[in-house]
Structure formats: C-alpha cells, structure tokens
Amino acid sequence: MKAVEIKPGIYWVGVKDWNLREFHGYSTSRGSTYNAYLIMDEKVTLIDGVKAPFTDLMMQKIASVVDPAKIDVVICNHVEMDHSGALPAVMKTAKNATMYCPAAGERGLGLHYDTSSWKIQTVKTGDTLNIGKHTLAFTLMPMVHWPDSMMTYMADEKILFPNDAFGQHYASDEIFDDENLDVIMDEAKKYYGNIVMPYGAQVQKVLEAASALDIQTIAPSHGVIWRKHIPEIVAKYVKWSAYGHDDDRAVVVYGSMWGSTEQMARVVASAWGEKGLKVKICSLKHSQSSDVINDIVEAKYVAFGSPTLNSGILPTMSAFVSYMKGLAFKNKTAFCFGSYGWKKGVMSEVEDVVKGLGWEVPEPCVSINYRPTAEALAELKSAAERVIK
Ligand code: FEO
C-alpha cells in the first residue's frame, strides 16, 4: 500500500471504505473515504487520521514514505472517530510527536482515548506552526462539524485542509475532482444536507475566513480533493449555508398502507408539475431517508403524506420527520395530506414540526376518508395548486 503524492512532498495517506453503507443513519451507497495527509518537511507532519479498523492500512501508506516513528507533528482537525480512530496508534508509534488541536479537541480526545502520555499543544484561530519549509495556520470552526473542528491552511502551497467541510461520503478510483463532477456534487450535497445542514451560520463564518485565503486546493477529510471545481463547490456552500433553494424544485415524500395516500401523492406531484415545478416523488417504503434529505436540500416546496396508523402517522414518516427536524432545514414551504379511516388530523404532527422550523404552511392539511373519490382528488389538486405562489 503506497501513499499518493498530491503535491511535492505532500502525500494522501487516507483509505477508501468501499463497503461502508451506513454512517450514523446516513446511507452511503458509494462508500466513503477517510483522508489523511502526510507532509514531508523538517518536521514530518500528519494531518488527521482514519477510522480505527483502517489504522494498519494508513500506517503502511505512511511507511511507504517514511518510518511512522519519525512523525514529529500530528494535526487533529476533528475528534470524531472516523478521523481520530487511528491516532492512538500513531501517538504510540511516534513517541516524540506533538499533537496540535483546539482546546475542545484536547478535551474530546481525552474523553475518547487514554491521552495521558500524549504531548498535546492546543491552538486557536490565528496560531501558526512552522514545520520547516512550510507553515501551517489554524482557524477554529466550531460545529463544522463538532465543537472541536478546525481547519488548517498551508499558504505556500495554497492548500486548505478543512476536515469535514467540503467533504463527500464517496469512494472512487479518483483522488481529485477532475472527472464525474455531477456525481461528486450530488454526494457533496447529500453530505451537506445530512451532516452540515444544522450549522449554516457556522459554515458562513468558515466561508468568510476562507475568502481571505488564496486557495488552489481544498483537501477535505472525506471524498475527492477539490482542485478543478473550487468555485463551484464554494458557490454551493454559499447557497446551502444561506438555506437557499431553487424556486422550481419540489419533493413529495409519503408513506402509504393501501394506496390511498400514494394516489394523493401522485395528484400533488402532478399538480405541482403542471405548475412548472420539477417534482421528485419519494416513497419512504422504497427510499432511504438520507437520499430524500438530499433531494430536499435545494427544493423550495415539500409535501408530506401519511395515512393514519393507530392514532398517529406511519412510523416511517414519523422517523423521517424526526430526522429532518434534527437537520433544522429552514426557508421552505410545506403541504401535508393523507388518508384516514376513523381518526382524522394526524398530520398535525408533521405540520407542527415544519412550523417549528419556520417553514411556510399556506394551506391546511388535506385529509381523505378511506378511498379518494374523483371529487376529493380534485379538491386536493386545487389545494396543492394554491400552495405554489
Ligand atoms: Fe467525518 Fe465529523 O467526522
């Protein structure tokens, strides 16, 4: 296993997790990567690590360039275990290494591992570290993705190491963003929607700090390294962090028991399509929540449909809405519908959530008793049309 030189003396020593299909509730159909970077300078420097089961693989890659015992500096941009899992082995092997991380990182590492023998130097925004030819500059970016997150910038090579920011859960045979931009952008959107979405204000601070830097390469901790399409991904982060959407994009997400709510979902989608919207229909029986979230990221309109089950909504819808609530989507317009037998009005559970998120709900929920009649569907269609401004 060999390291890949991405710039003179700077190596990718990460790993590709081709088989990953789940990441704390996020379906990762294309696997993921854990990117770590080795800098050969007067002080041999490692930026971030990999998930614990891949420690040996990362060590082999480091060893293809230098004896891991000779690592002098370890930068921990983020404590989460997909990046820090290998660090106990690194610190045990590189006995003279000093780790640099924010104070929140030192705290977090101490709560995950026995760090009693580690040399840890805490850093804050504006601090720099000279490692020989290169100097590293640190900027704390709390909550992108955890309180301890920070980014590291190397001015002379114009590389930003922003850890989770700008990442994608994506394993491919590529290291860079030179090909398959549509797929990479879609994975970056899915990653933003499912991981970063709650932290728009914090992302905007990162973008502001990054705008002062001359950046030719963005080397995140997941997915491909950006070098060809930096303006495109930065523009997307500007849009997503401001909760921007496309006015002509909509999602109809639903669950159904015996087909009535499904029939209603198709009527809503058709009504919106006839109004000129691009509409995606997502059945929660067949779609992963994190894929639906990906579709919602850039949608202005979201319709939710569920029949009554017992005295509530379907558990699939309940789980989906709970997940979506945690991601704190803002600035959207919702419409609710569903069929019922003998208990009406259960979609108020969803309405309450989206109203709590500050979404517009211009029309009351449409409920249809048992099977939809042509007349009831016509009324549903009219209500759906009124939602669109
Ligand atoms: Fe990729 Fe927040 O860890």
Quick one: pLDDT at residue 244?
Answer: 97
8 Å CB contact between 324 and 356: no
Residue among 17, 41, 48, 80 flagged as catalytic: 80
Q: Calculate the CA dihedral of residues 146, 111, 163, 205 and round it to 10 degrees.
A: 30
**Among the residues of 311-372, which ranges form H helices?**
315-327, 348-356
Three-class secondary structure of residue 328 per DSSP: coil
**Average of per-residue pLDDT values in the chain:** 97
> Residue written as tokens 């994975």?
187
Strand ranges for 155-229 from DSSP E: 159-163, 217-220
Q: Residue 389: is its pLDDT beyond 80?
A: no
pLDDT on residue 161: 98
Residues in CB range of 212: below 8 A, 6 or more apart:
none
For residue 162, CA distances in Å to 78, 128, 207, 350, 362 come to: 10, 15, 11, 35, 40
Tell how far the Cα of 141 is from the centroid of ligand 1, in angstroms: 13
- CB-ligand 1 contact for 227 (6 Å cutoff): no
- Calculate mean pLDDT across residues 125-137: 98
Find the mean pLDDT for residues 199-222: 96
**134 CB near ligand 1 (under 6 Å):** no
pLDDT band at residue 334 using 50, 70 and 90 as cut-offs: very high
CB of 160 within 8 A of CB of 227?
A: no
Task: Tell me what the mean pLDDT of segment 129-153 comes to.
Answer: 97
Ligand 1 atom closest to Cα of 34? Answer: 1
Whether ligand 1 lies within 6 angstroms of the CB of 169 is answered as no
| pLDDT attached to residue 353 | 98
Distance CA 98, CA 196 (A): 30
Distance 84 CA to ligand 1 centre (A): 9
Q: What is the mean pLDDT of residues 235-262?
A: 97
Q: What percentage of the chain exceeds 90 in pLDDT?
A: 99
pLDDT band at residue 262 using 50, 70 and 90 as cut-offs: very high
Q: Which residues contact 27 (CB under 8 A, 6 or more apart)?
A: 21, 288, 289, 290, 291
Of ligand 1's listed atoms, the one at least distance from the Cα of 195 is: 2
* pLDDT at site 24: 87
Cα separation, 112 vs 101, in Å, equals 15
Go through the domains of the chain in sequence order and give each one's CATH number.
Answer: 4-241 (3.60.15.10), 250-387 (3.40.50.360)
Q: Scan for tokens 């990567």, then name that residue.
A: 33
Q: Residue 199 half-sphere exposure, CB side, CA atoms within 13 Å?
A: 20
Q: pLDDT band at 355, cuts 50/70/90? A: very high
Is the per-residue pLDDT at 211 higher than 90?
yes
| 80 tagged catalytic | yes
Q: Residue 84: CB within 6 Å of ligand 1?
A: no
For residue range 19-57, list pLDDT tens digits in order. Answer: 999 998 899 999 999 999 999 999 999 999 999 999 999
Q: Is the pLDDT of residue 190 over 90?
A: yes
Q: In what order do the strands lie in the sheet with 159-163?
A: 128-130, 135-140, 150-154, 159-163, 217-220
Is 57:15 a contact under the CB 8 Å cutoff? yes
For the chain, what percent of residues have pLDDT higher than 70? 100
186 is catalytic: no
Q: What's the pTM value of the predicted model, to 2 decimals?
A: 0.96
191 belongs to the catalytic site: yes
- Phi, psi values for residue 163, rounded to 5°: 55, -125
- 51-85 residue pLDDT tens: 999 999 999 999 999 999 999 999 999 999 999 99
Q: What's the pLDDT tens digit per position in 310-329? A: 999 999 999 999 999 999 99
Q: Which helix (H) or strand (E) holds 312?
A: strand 312-313
Pairing of strands 98-101, 119-122: parallel
Listed in sequence order, the residues at least 6 apart from 114 whose beta carbon sits closer than 8 Å to its beta carbon are 88
Any atom of ligand 1 within 6 Å of the Cβ of 7:
no
Quote the DSSP letter at residue 306. Answer: -
Say if CB 356 and CB 325 are below 8 A apart.
Answer: yes
- By the 10 Å C-beta count (0-12 exposed, 13-18 middle, 19+ buried), 374 is classed as exposed
Look at the block and give the residue holding tokens 């929920």.
365
The protein residue whose alpha carbon is closest to atom 1 in ligand 1 is: 164
The pLDDT of 254-273, averaged and rounded, is 98
Ligand 1 contact via 189 beta carbon (within 6 Å):
no
Q: Please tell me what DSSP assigns to residue 192.
A: I
pLDDT in tens, 250-260: 999 999 999 99
> In a 3-state reduction of DSSP, which class is residue 170?
coil
User: Which pLDDT score is estimated for 25?
Assistant: 86
